[in-house]
Amino acid sequence: MSFSHLGLAEPLVRALEAKGYSEPTPIQRDSIPLLLEGKDLLGIAQTGTGKTAAFVLPSIQRLSEANKRVLPTHCRMLVLAPTRELASQIAESARGYGQFSKMSVATVFGGTSIAKNRNDVARGVDILVATPGRLIDVIEQGFLNLSMLEILVLDEADQMLDLGFIHALKKIVRMLPRKRQSLFFSATMPPSIRQLADQFLTDPATVSVVPQATTAERVDQSVIFCNQSEKQALLTILLQETKIDRALVFTRTKHGADRVVKLLAGNGIASNAIHGNKSQPQRERALAAFKAGEVPILVATDIAARGIDVSGVSHVFNFELPNVPEQYVHRIGRTARAGRSGEAIAFCADDERPYLKDIEKLTRQKVAQHELPEDFLRRAEQLKSERVKAIGADPAPREDRPRGARPPARPKATHAPRPSAGSPQSRNYANASAGAAGGNGGGNRRRRGGRGRGAGGGAGAPAGR
């Protein structure tokens, strides 16, 4: 079946041909005809199944056929995404699919100038892709009005809930017109997501292209049991031994992602980290270098990884297992995209075994166990020695500390004892202290609450300072 048989107009078919797409995926085949009829839709589809095209293509066609003029500070279609990267990816796809349909596309998300957001929506925009938090900021400052919205899309709804966007979503839906088409997509469908869908959708059609909570069939999954302290050496050895085009490494925390990058660098392996503490330009540069193959290893947290749609990711390493089992489905879905196969390898320490059990229960399959690489302990010790020479001693993993324990206190600076009163050393000490007070420009006086500079504040300072 071709895209034209689904009822798509010639400009959209031509745009798909320009991108090299000839046959629809199952989610596209089942969703596009329903959406062209104007129905609300509840779509259950894992990442990498082509769901962005499934909702963008028919929406562009319906907006084109309606032929309405978008008003200033309004939008006709709103796509809500949980992360900046996913929002940027959806907008890029929308521009590509709508290149012959003259649809304007804009994004609104954090990490960018709100003045830029205001300018992007000032004249009105056909398709707006946004994250919930920044969208509300723009609306409350009077830069955007949703009263004329025609189509609403919630993508990655389960991640929206995980990130605590439920209150923002309820606030947004109260700003929307009742008469609209609403589309709701999620990789998993627990009861909480079903309840959220009921608030947004009216008599929706349901499309499920895979059984709920199953993982990608083309991903070869395995787990290696090890200690927390052995994970860094294990990752390094596997990266050195395995033929890897591009690999994603997942950690649970931002601190953990930065630590993995540092330790990989000590082992001579280049990588970048992408997480919520990185600025938007940093995240964009890291993702661009990964896409271009300049840095083949990207270390990410779950939040930042949403929207990483990069072909050629051959491996996903779960350096730390997620404590939310649904995240595992999303993680391994970053490989085996566009019909390709992929490999997902998980490292499991003793305290992570309950997480693995939850994952196997959710996915309804046993993850195959692999043994540690041959001669692992000797090779791990050798790597550690080489890394210590390169970057110094490794920081202790945060997870290795007992719960609630503080990190070891830094040693206090030691000083020579203050000389006894009346000694020559004491007079020199007093003179030095007085000179320091003059050079500080009355710093002590300011600390006591004085606003002005101390006497001699400027004169006491060396001329070249």
CATH code where residue 148 lies: 3.40.50.300
- pLDDT value of residue 405: 47
- pLDDT value of residue 417: 46
Contacts from 88-93 at CB under 8 Å and sequence distance 24+? Answer: 88/129, 88/284, 88/307, 89/52, 89/307, 89/309, 90/52, 90/56, 90/129, 90/155, 90/307, 91/127, 91/129, 93/52, 93/53, 93/56
Q: Is residue 389 part of a domain?
A: yes
Q: Is residue 433 part of a domain?
A: no
Check the CA dihedral 238-244-250-254 and report its sign: positive
pLDDT band for position 460 (50/70/90)? very low
Q: Is residue 232 part of a domain?
A: yes
- pLDDT value of residue 216: 57
pLDDT band for position 312 (50/70/90)? confident
Say which range, 146-150, 328-332, 396-400, has the weakest mean pLDDT.
396-400
226 lies in the same domain as 284: yes
Check the CA dihedral 70-72-74-79 and report its sign: positive
User: Domain limits at 128?
Assistant: 4-208
Smallest Cα–Cα separation from 59: which of 107, 115, 128? 128
Proportion of the chain above pLDDT 90, given as a percent: 50
356 lies in the same domain as 288: yes
What ranges make up the beta strands (E) of 294-366? 297-300, 313-318, 342-348
Average pLDDT (234-238) is 94
- pLDDT value of residue 215: 55
Average pLDDT (438-447) is 41
pLDDT over 60 at 106, yes or no: yes
Which stretches of 123-247 are DSSP H helices?
132-140, 157-162, 166-173, 191-200, 231-241
Q: Is residue 65 part of a domain?
A: yes
Q: Is residue 408 part of a domain?
A: no
- Residue 199: Cβ within 10 Å count: 12
196 lies in the same domain as 239: no
Asked which of 375, 399, 423 is the last residue of a domain, the reply is 399
Contact 197, 152 (CB under 8 A): no
* 151 compared with 312, residue with greater pLDDT: 151
The owner of tokens 């004169």 is 459
- Tens digits of residue pLDDT in 265-305: 988 899 999 887 888 788 888 888 998 889 999 999 887 56
248 lies in the same domain as 150: no
56 lies in the same domain as 181: yes
- pLDDT value of residue 306: 62
276 lies in the same domain as 351: yes
- Assessment of whether the complete model's pTM goes beyond 0.75: no
- Tens digits of residue pLDDT in 321-367: 998 887 888 788 888 766 677 899 999 999 999 999 999 998 888 99
Q: Is residue 304 part of a domain?
A: yes
What does pLDDT average to over the chain? 82
- pLDDT value of residue 444: 41
Q: Is residue 48 part of a domain?
A: yes
54 lies in the same domain as 158: yes
Q: Is residue 258 part of a domain?
A: yes
pLDDT band for position 201 (50/70/90)? very high
How many domains does the structure of the chain reveal?
2
78 lies in the same domain as 125: yes
pLDDT over 50 at 15, yes or no: yes
Cβ-Cβ contacts under 8 Å for 107 (sequence gap 6 or more): 87, 88, 91, 120, 128, 129, 130
pLDDT band for position 430 (50/70/90)? very low
* 121 compared with 445, residue with greater pLDDT: 121
pLDDT over 50 at 423, yes or no: no
122 lies in the same domain as 93: yes
Average pLDDT (113-140) is 95
Asked which of 208, 233, 258 is the last residue of a domain, the reply is 208
Average pLDDT (395-421) is 47
Average pLDDT (440-464) is 40
178 lies in the same domain as 295: no
197 lies in the same domain as 224: no
Average pLDDT (100-112) is 91
pLDDT over 90 at 74, yes or no: yes
Asked which of 368, 399, 430 is the last residue of a domain, the reply is 399
Cβ-Cβ contacts under 8 Å for 255 (sequence gap 6 or more): 398
Half-sphere exposure of 329 (CA within 13 A, CB side): 29
> CA–CA separation, 235 vs 375, rounded Å?
15
145 lies in the same domain as 231: no
- Distances, alpha carbon 460 to alpha carbons 175, 201, 436, 446, in Å: 63, 73, 8, 16
